[in-house]
Structures are given as C-alpha cells and as structure tokens.
Amino acid sequence: MTPARAPSPGAVHVTAQGWGWRHAGRKAFAARRLDLDITPGERVLLLGASGAGKSTVLHGLAGVLGTQDEGEQEGELLLDGVRPTPAMGRAGLVLQDPETQVVLARVGDEVAFAAENLSVPRDEIWQRVDRALDDVGLELPLDHPTTALSGGQKQRLALAAVLAMEPGLLLLDEPTANLDPEGVVEVRDAVVRVLGRTGATLVVVEHRVAVWADVVDRVIVLDAGGGVLADGPPGTVLVQDSTRSRLAGAGVWIPGWRPAVGGAMPSSAPGPALLSARGLTVARTRRGPAAVESLEIEVGAGEALGITGPNGAGKSTAALTLGGLLRPRAGTLEAQPLLAGTAGSNPFRWRSPQLVQRIGTVFQEPEHQFLTTSVQDELEFGPRRVSDAVDDQRIAELAERLRLTHLLGANPFTLSGGEKRRLSVATMLATAPRLLILDEPTFGQDASTWAELVTLLRELIDDGVAVLSVTHDADFVDALGGATLHISGGAGRLVSR
Amino acid sequence: MSTTYLTPVLTGRTLLRANPVSKLFAAVVITVALMSSIDWVSAAVVLVCELALMPLLGISVWGLLRRIWPLLIAAAIGGYGTALLAEKTGDVLLAIGPIVFTEDSVADGIAVGLRGLALALPGIFILLTTDPTDLADALAQKLHLPHRFVLGGLASLRLVGLLVEQWETLGLARQARGVGSDGSLVARTRNLLGQSFGLIVQAIRRATRLATAMEARGFGGGTRTWARSSTYSALDAVIAVVGLVVAVGAVTTAVLAGTWNFILS
C-alpha cells in the first residue's frame, strides 16, 4: 500500500516479522505473531479490542519496552531495518495521560528536553523548539508554566516535545482519550498540521475511530489472539460489512455505528424519591471557593441522570457531594427513607459500611479504588465491610456478568484499561447500593466495554437502582435515557430528555 | 489547584539572576563559620548581616515572618531548653524551685537560638530566589554532577506537588469503597497505612509513566547538550565575596569579643 503523497526522506519504514512481547511475570503474550510492513510516510490507525496489545506495539516501536528482565521478545520489530532504541530519536511517542508526561516547568524547556538528550547543538535546539511549537499551534511564551495548560494544550505540548527530535515516525497512544470534545479536535488538527509539514510515518491508537478516519491511509486491526484481524484503507476496512462486523466484534468504535446494547430503554417516570438536594452548594475543599451553587435535584429509584458540562465546571465535585463523600457547603442533601433505611438522612454522616450499602461511587481512575491484590478479594471487600458472611454465589454471578471470572486470581493493577473499569463497577455493585454514581465511566473505553456498561446500567435501572453519571459522552446519556443536569459557570440547569 | 514545587513563587530579582552555585558557595562558607563555634556574637553578626541583606529578597519582613514562623518558634524553644539545662555558672538571674537560669546558661541559650536562625536563613534565601530548573542546570553544568541524577531529581519535584492532590482523591475513593475515616484507632491507623501504601503505588506508577515518557525522548544516554547555558557573571563574584566577608567578619568579631568558642578545641 503506497500513500498518495510522496514520503519525506526522513520518514521511517516499519517492519515486523512474527513479533511478540510478553511482560515479565505474565503468562500470556501482550502481542504476538505480528507481521507488518508500513511504508515510509504512511498514516496508520491501529485498532483492536482492549487487551489486544496496541500499546505494547507502540512501546515496542518507541524502544521503551525495556530489556530482557522486563519481558520476553520473539521475532523482529524494526525501524528502517534496525531494532528501535530511544537514543536514535527516530520515533516520537505521545502517551494517553496529559498529566504524567510533563517533565519540566517551562514550555520551552519541555520541548527542548528531547533535543538535549539527543545532543543537538544549542542553537539548533531553540530553532527546533520554535518550529515544534509553531507546528502544534501553541503560541505561548517559552517561559510559560507547563502547569497552566489545559488538557488539549498539554497533549499538543507533548507532541511538540517529541517533534523536537525530528522523528521519522510519530506514535500516538490514545492521545485524545482523556480530553473533552474541544481538546480532541485541538490535538487531531495539530497532528494533521505536523504530518503535512514533516511527512513522517504515523501510527495512532485510538478507540474513537471517527476522530482519525479521515486522516489515515490505512487501518490495521490487531486480533486479541495474536496477529492481524483486518488491514486496508479506511474506505474499505471501515465500510465493508465483513470487516465492520469483525471490528464491531473487537469492540472498535466505527463511524456511523453504535454498539448494540441489551436491556430496554429505561422509562422516563422515576420511582419513589431516594435523594433530594435543596439549594445545595458544593465545594472541593472546606475553605476553597464553591464549585457549583444552589443545586436543586431530586433523584428517584430507577432514574438515570447525566451530569454534563465543560472540564473544570465542578461536575465531579457535585457528584462527590451527592455521593456523601464531600461535606455540602450550603443547602441540604437529604436521603429519603427508601435510601437511608435505618441510617440517618444525611449521607455525609454515614459511616463507611452504611455508605457502601446505599451509595456506590465509581471514580474516574479505577486504580484509586483498588484495595487488595486479587480481583476475588477486591469483589469481596465491600461485602466483608458489611457482614462476615459473604455471598459467594452473588460474587461469582457478578464476576461472570462483567467477564472477570478468568481474572479472579489476577492483581487488579495488572489488568487492561477495560478490565479495570469493569472491575471498579463490579466492586461497587457487590454491596447492592440503591444509588450508583459514576465519574466519566466511558473515558477511553472500547465499544464492547461501553455496550456492556450500558446494558448493565439499564438492567440496574430496571431493578430500581438510580444511576448518576458525570460524562462528556452524549451517546451514553442518550442510551440511559433520563434527564441531564448541565453544569457550567457555577450553576446547574436541569434538562429533561 | 495543584501545589507545585517545580514552579515556586520566587522573589528577589537580583538574586534570581545570579548563578545558584555562587549562592550555594556563600551559604556554605557562612554555615561553616557558624558551625565552628557556639557563641552569641558570631551568630548575632551573621544574623544582622542576613537581615541587612533582606531587601535583596524582595519580600517584606512580614512576608519573611509568614514563611519562617515555625523556625522562630523552634529557635525560641531550643534557646529556652539550653538556658534551662546548660551548666549553671555565673550569677543566678532567676530561680523558681528547680528552674534556675544563670548569666552563662542564658547566654548559651541566646547563642543557640540565634545560631539556629542564622543557620536556617541562607537556605531560606536560596529557596526563595532560585528556580529549580536553574539549580539543576548549574549542578550539572558547573559542578558536573551526573545529569541523570540531577534531571531525575528535578522531574520528581513535579510529582511531589501532584502527590498532595492525589492523597485527597485517594482518601475519597477509598471511603467510597467502605474504608472510612471512622472506626476505632486501630482501624484508622490501618486505613492510614493502606492509604499511604496506595499513594506509594500511585506515585510509583506515575513515576514509571513519567520515566517512560522521558526515556522515549532519549533521556538516559551518556551525553547530552544543554539548551540553557549556566553562566557566571560579576554578580556571582560579589555574592561569593559577600559570603566570605560575612563569615570572616563573624569569626573575627567573636574572637575580638572573646566569646569565640571553637567546637573542636
């Protein structure tokens, strides 16, 4: 497959022959039996189900998988016929999380860092810095603090930081998965501009295919069992019925398609009241500024409520307060008898065993809520807080329902992103709370996990559980029915569906 | 929202322009002079000089007090303790039962208090007027410390700031799982240990990701160039000389005043 445009002389030729990698301590290979030939200047979207080894391939191409102590390699993965090492500076890797890639305090220094490591002479470094910042459209002074950037800006900075190496291969590992819709477009456009100038080869991993479908020449789908599931131009792979169905089966988000979900669309009539907020003002800290003021919310049994709004508007703070985890700044938050049961009416005053039986809050980062060293212990943790006798049957059912049965012995921290998300929801359901609160539950999830989550939540809603979700995902809100609380500018506005 | 140690609020434009190495040099000679003797004259001379140099910091006395008040309390407690416990020679100034203060014990107490403050201030001066990135550049380029060590330390500073935020989020996330701050002292202690462990896990994971990002950008090789050049100017010579003058002045004054009390003699 030859791209329509002429490749730049520096663009990298990627080849893989029977390549595989197994992380030390893991039984299964993260990626295996991979044969690839990516011509210089080609733009590739790398897809595959969660756990198919997409990130492993990118890390392998960047040469950061490590030495023999860190895992076992088979076959060959080559850049222009040479095994990749970061010191060559041939490949530039941008990671998913904007927060963990910033090294230095000032924008200019951050971009210069990679060029310094490659021993580029000083005068040339600053020329590269200017060009890289220009390429990604960050028009900021060089001494601008890196902490004062939005998520989209941080990702563009990360892109500029690898561009300073003048890489012939750009590797993007879900670069927009943690961003709000505006940030996604910002980063995508910056990548397009960069490729237009440099002509570098591109390999991008992303679940949301629509973002990149128009940018790439070729789509490669990894099979979770090893090897390649589909390979071809996006006009073929993403359009043909045969590949579309296989992609859908692998959990890939294809444009113009939404995964089929089970369960009925929840009815719009909420059941008896569970939780009422009257003039509720929420704040993250005791003395800090209020995030949202005078919220009026009534959550009924079997109701779905989506909390939407731009980044930093206070959505999570509102959700944490409704979940009884943060003290209300003003106004009242009252648990109705159906939710409160034998406990008092103020959720913030509940002791933690009381809380887990009534309200389950699933945090954005699943790892923050993992407390034990195995999936089984993790699922049993909540029930053990409540009573000494744990219902093994219920745990087994829950594991089965969220496809965790084969992972019961695994350490939660070693799971893939989708598996971690499923586990974090399952741990909350183990104590059967009547109100479930989820913070960005679909961030970075593949379509299968997404559909499973929606199906599960619909069933819960049908059973009378109220589901409150903070999200940017309009499809998700639609799929659950229910009303939306839109938060912006310090106020909430209720929009019925 | 995040507290950041990588971009602290810096003051004192003049000292900010100087090379961190000259500031370190001045601080070290002053410290050596102070450490050589426990007497109130040398400590007082250094302290007076330090306070006279305050305008260079670009903050008011009040601003300094707000930052160092715990030190003042520590110095006062140290001084009081010394006056109480030191050898009781000289005239008795105050005696209430077993509590006896004599001329000499009070002099010792004052010396210890002043010395503590005088020792602490140079560090404060450097912290308030030195950009961590400049410090790393100077340590690597001028003092030739290994760049992997210096830049690794600089990058980890950023993570320290993120840890504070992470601690709060972890606490809430664990509470949502049923690990509350309620319960017995034993349960609370266990929870605190668990949360600390969780924080360590998160810190290691973040550090690992950061290390991957740094490695992917070619960090860790044997040689590198520096985009910013760490240079000396006339200002640095002045700072070094001022440091020497303060140190020598303090020792000389103390010797002439007869209070010099060399710790090794």
What is the secondary structure of B181-221 as a DSSP string?
S-S-HHHHHHHHHHHHHHHHHHHHHHHHHHHHHHHHTTTT-
- Which of B155, B174, B180 lies closest to A371 in CB terms? B174
Chain A interface includes B133 (CB < 8 A): yes
Residues from chain B that touch A89, judged by Cβ atoms under 8 A, are 218
Residue B227 at interface with chain A, using a CB cutoff of 8 Å: yes
Task: Indicate whether A8 belongs to any domain.
Answer: no
Q: Is residue A258 part of a domain?
A: no
- How many whole angstroms separate alpha carbon B107 and alpha carbon B86? 10
Q: Give the gap in angstroms from C-alpha B189 to the nearest C-alpha of chain A.
A: 15
Instruction: Please check whether residue A98 is in contact with residue A105, taking contact to mean a CB–CB distance below 8 angstroms.
Output: no
Give the mean pLDDT of A258-274.
81
Task: Quote the minimal CA–CA distance from B208 to chain A in Å.
Answer: 9
CA atoms of A279 and A297, how far apart (whole Å): 9
Q: Are strands A91-94 and A31-38 parallel, antiparallel or unpaired?
A: unpaired
DSSP states along A3-25: -SSPPPTTPPPEEEEEEEEEETT
| A366 to chain B: closest CA residue | B173
Q: State the average pLDDT over residues B42-48.
A: 93
How close does chain B come to A165, measured CA to CA in Å? 8
- The phi, psi pair for A204, rounded to 5°, reads -120, 135
Task: Give the tokens for residue B252.
Answer: 């000389």
Q: A470, A482, A480, A465: which is closest to A431 by C-alpha?
A: A465
**pLDDT for residue A110 is more than 70:** yes
Considering A249, A284, A303, which residue would you say is the last residue of a domain?
A249
Identify residue B84 by its one-letter amino acid code: L
A84 and A25 both lie in a single domain: yes
Q: Hey, how many other C-beta atoms are within 10 angstroms of the C-beta on A264?
A: 11
Task: Give domain status of residue A1, yes or no.
Answer: no
Cβ of B218 within 8 Å of Cβ of A117? The answer is: yes
The predicted pLDDT at position B2 comes to 39
The reported pLDDT for the residue numbered B161 is: 74
Q: Which residue has the higher pLDDT, A350 or A26?
A: A350
Q: Is residue A93 part of a domain?
A: yes
Tokens describing residue A156: 């563009």
Could you tell me whether strands B99-102 and B92-96 are parallel, antiparallel, or unpaired per DSSP bridges? antiparallel
Best mutation target, B192, B208, B217, B219, to test chain A (most A CBs within 10 A): B217
- Co-location of A325 and A434 in the same domain: yes
Q: So what's the pLDDT on residue B160? A: 80
- Residues B95-118, mean pLDDT to the nearest whole number: 88
Q: Which of B262, B238, B246, B248 is nearest to B23 (CA)?
A: B238
* Pairs across A and B, CB distance < 8 A: 172
User: Roughly what angle, to the nearest 10 degrees, separates helices A151-163 and A181-198?
Assistant: 20
Q: Which of B7, B176, B212 faces A147 most closely, judged by CB atoms? A: B7
Of A113, A162, A368, the CB nearest to B173: A368
* Gap from B232 CA to chain A (nearest CA, Å): 18
Cβ of A320 within 8 Å of Cβ of B172? The answer is yes
Q: Are residues A83 and A189 in the same domain?
A: yes
B188 inside 8 A of chain A by CB: no
Residue of B nearest to A429 (CA): B177
Residue with tokens 């990516």: A38
- The backbone torsions φ and ψ at residue A437, rounded to the nearest 5 degrees and listed phi first, read -115, 130
Q: What percent of chain A stands above pLDDT 90?
A: 49
At A436, is the secondary structure helix, strand, or coil? strand
Counted domains in chain A: 2
Asked if B231 has any chain A CB less than 8 Å from its own CB, the reply is no
| Token reading at B98 | 């077993």
Residue type, B242: V
Listed in sequence order, the residues at least 6 apart from A54 whose beta carbon sits closer than 8 Å to its beta carbon are A46, A47, A48, A173, A205, A222
With pLDDT > 70 as the criterion, what percentage of chain A qualifies? 98
Question: Closest approach of chain A CAs to the CA of B169, in angstroms?
Answer: 8
Any domain includes A268: no
Q: Check whether B5 has a pLDDT greater than 60.
A: no
What would the pLDDT profile of A433-444 be if each residue is shown by its tens digit?
999 999 989 887
Domain residue limits at A482:
273-495
The reply to whether A121 and A78 lie within a common domain is yes
* Residue A92 included in any domain: yes
Length of chain A: 497
Cβ(B13)–Cβ(B137) below 8 Å = no
Residue A351 has φ and ψ, to the nearest 5°, of: -75, 160
**For the ranges A50-59, A86-95, A167-176, A217-226, the one whose mean pLDDT is highest:** A167-176
Q: Cβ contacts of residue B162 below 8 Å, gap of 6+? A: A99, B2, B206
What is d(CA A314, CA A490) in angstroms, rounded to the nearest whole number? 7
Written as one string, the DSSP assignment of B111-129 is HHHHHHHHHHHHHHHHHHH
Q: pLDDT tens-digit profile of A362-414? A: 998 898 999 888 999 999 999 988 888 888 888 999 898 888 999 999 999 88
The pLDDT-based confidence of A199 (bands split at 50, 70, 90) is: very high
Q: Compute the nearest-CA separation of A150 from chain B (Å).
A: 13
Q: Does residue A40 form part of some domain?
A: yes
Mean pLDDT of A74-83: 92
- In the stretch 103-122 of chain B, residues with CB closer than 8 A to chain A read none
Residue B142 in contact with partner chain A when CB distance is under 8 A:
no
Question: Domain-by-domain residue ranges, chain B?
Answer: 13-137+231-257, 145-216
Nearest by Cα to A157 from A132, A184, A183, A178: A132
**Crossing angle between the packed helical segments A392-401 and A417-429, to the nearest 10 degrees:** 150
Helices (H), chain B: 13-17, 20-35, 40-52, 61-85, 103-129, 132-141, 147-176, 185-216, 234-257
Report the alpha-carbon distance of residue A76 to residue A83 in Å, rounded: 8
Q: Which of A89, A120, A161 sits opposite B225 (nearest CB)?
A: A120
Q: Provide the CA B148 distance to its chain's centre, in angstroms.
A: 23
DSSP, collapsed to helix, strand or coil, labels residue A318 as helix
Bridge partners, residue A297, by sequence = A277
Which residues of chain B have a CB within 8 Å of the CB of A59? 212
Cβ atoms A164, B264 nearer than 8 A: no
Question: Binning pLDDT at 50, 70 and 90, where does residue A300 land?
Answer: very high
Q: Report the chain B residue with the minimal C-alpha distance to residue A384.
A: B178
Question: Which two three-digit tokens encode residue A290?
Answer: 């209020």
CB spacing of B212 vs A95 below 8 angstroms: yes
Partners of residue A87 in chain B, C-beta under 8 Å: 218, 220-221
The CA-CA-CA angle for residues A110, A114, A118, to 5°, reads 150
Domain co-membership, A240 together with A197: yes
In a domain, A264, yes or no: no
Same domain, A280 and A242: no
- How far apart are alpha carbons A343 and A353 in whole angstroms? 11
Q: How many CB atoms lie within 10 A of CB A445?
A: 24
- The CATH number of the domain where A408 resides is what? 3.40.50.300
Which residue in chain A is spatially nearest to B170 when comparing CA positions? Answer: A368
Q: Largest alpha-carbon pair distance within chain B?
A: 71
- What is the pLDDT, as a whole number, of residue B182? 63
Pick from A89, A122, A382: CB nearest B178: A382
How many Cα atoms are found within 13 Å in the side-chain-facing hemisphere of A52? 25
Identify which of B179, B20, B90, B131 has the alpha carbon closest to the alpha carbon of residue A145. Answer: B131
Q: Find chain B residues with C-beta within 8 A of A118's C-beta.
A: 218, 221, 224
Average pLDDT, chain A: 88
Using alpha carbons, select from B172, B160, B147 the residue that is nearest to residue B206.
B160
| A323 in the same domain as A431 | yes
ipTM associated with this complex: 0.80
Who wins on pLDDT, A355 or A26? Answer: A355
Within an 8 Å CB–CB cutoff, is residue B220 touching chain A? Answer: yes
Neighbouring CB atoms inside 10 A of A387's CB total 11
Residue numbers of B between 154 and 173 with CB closer than 8 Å to A: 154-155, 158, 162, 169-170, 172-173
Q: Which of A64, A126, A428 sits opposite B215 (nearest CB)?
A: A64
Q: What is the DSSP letter of A364?
A: S
- Measure A324 CA to nearest chain B CA, in Å: 9
Residue A159 shares a structural domain with residue A107: yes
Q: Is B4 on the interface with A (CB under 8 A)?
A: yes
Residues A240 and A282 in one domain: no
